[in-house]
Amino acid sequence: MFSWYKNNCLLINGIGVTLLIIMLYRLFGPIAAFALLILPFAGFMAVRISTVFIILFILFSYFRLHEAFVFLMPLKIPKMLALASLLAIAWHLFISKKLKPHWSSTHTIFVVWFVWLTVCVFSASNRGVAIEYWSGVLVKVFIMVLAISWWITRFSHFSYVRLGIMISGVSIAIVALNNKMNGIGLVEGTRVTISRELRSQLGDPNDLSLVLMFPVSFLAAEMFDSDGSKFRRVFAALGLILAISGVIATQSRGGLLGIAAILSFFLYQKVKNPVVVACFAAAGMVILMLFAGIADRQSGGAQEGGVDESAMGRLYAWQAAINMALADPLTGVGINNFFVNYYFYSPHWDGKNHAVHSTWFQVLGETGFVGLGIFLLVIASIYKSLSRVFSINKLLNNNEISVNANALKAGLIGFMIAGTFLTQAFTWPLYIILALTIALEKLAVDTNKEQANVS
């Protein structure tokens, strides 16, 4: 029986697949049948060019490209990329053995942070909201941090990541500026958003400014790279102007502070005079705020005397976060639970719940004092890892290491400064920086060993 099947396996399998395709076509339509037909090819491509799928998954997850370009939404691209990425990770980790895990102290602190977030999920006051966010966002972040830190093993990989982040950032900036010029989805009459009617993450001007601010560090690193390609430097300069213009259109003070911090970091590398850099940063911040028209904002504009309504709203939210942590110092109110608990802890109630609008107070209110301490350790571990990369590169003088390290350090600085006014503790930027920093340190160490062996 087995020998007969062996001799006729192609014919038998072909008939079986054909019948399955016909059945799917009759039951679910042509799309399901076509999906089954291309499934083997999709699996093959996911394994062969797995790095591309993982990078695309990060870009679509963070920049929400399918929401900015709505014609992509029916294709369910993020879900397809997630499946392809998981297939590639599983294949190369357990079967081909090409994915070689390594471990660092930064990995350990990140895992401790994820475990604590999980504890805060199950101790949350509204467990359903917390579990939904944990399964929908945090688990993906956890898997991708490990995958990126192990997968990015060549300078060409870093180049693809940087290019992808820059192109995605410029694309979102162009859509934002188009919406601004055509008056599409404006909040308070002046603040630009994208796909607000679809309840997109880009539909909040502060979140949009965060998405646009992140590529600024990569664009600036490319532009200030004197040893880089002239074409890429010109592209980066034009892209930087577009990205900054997009943040200006959101009228987000946190986004503008982040940009000022990033540009000051690169300016300091050229000038080396902190007083001059501080003066340029202050002047630049004033210019950015004038271009942004902050004075014309309905909330936080010049028409509001004294401490403006926007600032008071933040102060009330921050006090609510402190009250949450004092009520439960160990775990706070739980992940993604600040908004639904605002009424119970805020000293001022205006009839609606509010977001915290601060990374630091978000962590304090939702994960307690213990969580804030671990979160600060995560940031400190990234900073120390980048410091080790810079120390190694003093010996190597490798331009690829330099441009990537500068982009990541500038991104970390921008995150910390803008984080005072933007809620970004559990979103992608910090964790992309973390994963790429681990990968860059490993690559720098390996490159240093190779050169030492050659000499």
Q: What is the Cα–Cα distance from 349 to 336, expressed in whole angstroms?
A: 20
pLDDT of 189 reads: 84
Grade residue 23 by pLDDT with cuts at 50, 70 and 90: low
* Per-residue pLDDT reduced to its tens digit, 251-286: 888 888 899 999 999 988 888 777 777 787 777 777
* Residue 135 pLDDT: 92
- pLDDT tens-digit series, residues 377-436: 999 999 999 999 999 999 899 999 999 999 999 999 999 998 888 888 998 889 999 999
The mean per-residue pLDDT over the stretch 326-345 comes to 94
Q: What is the mean pLDDT of residues 355-368?
A: 94
| pLDDT exceeds cutoff 70 at 297 | no
CB under 8 Å to 247, separation ≥6 — which residues? 209, 212, 213, 216, 255, 256, 259
pLDDT digits over 302-311, tens only? 344 444 566 7
Q: How far is CA 19 from CA 22, 93, 161, 332, in A?
A: 5, 34, 42, 56
| pLDDT score for 307 | 45
376 CB contacts (<8 Å, ≥6 apart)? none
> pLDDT confidence of 369, banded at 50, 70, 90?
very high
Taking residue 189's Cβ as centre, other Cβ atoms within 10 Å add up to 9
191, burial (CB in 10 Å: exposed 0-12, middle 13-18, buried 19+):
buried
Dihedral angle sign, alpha carbons of residues 99, 100, 106, 108: positive
Q: How far is CA 16 from CA 31, 39, 44, 98, 381, in A?
A: 19, 15, 21, 33, 54
- For residues 63 and 70, what is the distance between their CA atoms, to the nearest angstrom? 13
In this structure, the number of other CB atoms found within 10 A of the CB of residue 147 comes to 24
Residue whose C-alpha is closest to residue 85's, from 59, 114, 103: 59
Terminal Cα distance for the chain, rounded = 64
198: confidence class by pLDDT, cuts 50, 70, 90: confident
Name the more confident of 128 and 312: 128
Break the chain into its structural domains and give their ranges: 103-454
pLDDT mean across residues, the chain: 84
Encoded tokens for 265: 């970091």
Percent of the chain residues topping a pLDDT of 90: 50
Q: How confident is the model at residue 226 (pLDDT cuts 50, 70, 90)?
A: confident
Per the model's pLDDT, the better-predicted residue between 7 and 389 turns out to be: 389
What is the spatial distance between Cα 153 and Cα 141, in angstroms, rounded to a whole number? 19
Confidence of residue 370 (pLDDT cuts 50, 70, 90): very high
- Rounded to an integer, the average pLDDT of 285-303 is 59
Q: Quick one: which of 105, 107, 109, 103 has its CA closest to 374?
A: 109
Does the pLDDT at position 353 exceed 80?
yes
pLDDT at residue 375 is higher than 70: yes
294 residue type, one letter: I
**pLDDT at 18 exceeding the cut of 70:** no
Q: What is the pLDDT of residue 47?
A: 44
Q: Regarding predicted confidence, which is higher, 153 or 51?
A: 153
So what's the pLDDT on residue 192?
94
| CA-wise closest residue to 339 among 326, 355, 324, 328 | 355
Stated pTM of the model: 0.86
Question: Using CB atoms within 10 A of its CB, is residue 399 exposed (0-12), middle (13-18) or buried (19+)?
Answer: middle
Mean pLDDT of the 58-77 span = 88
What CA–CA distance (Å, rounded) separates 222 from 165?
A: 12
Neighbour count for residue 244 (Cβ, 10 Å): 23
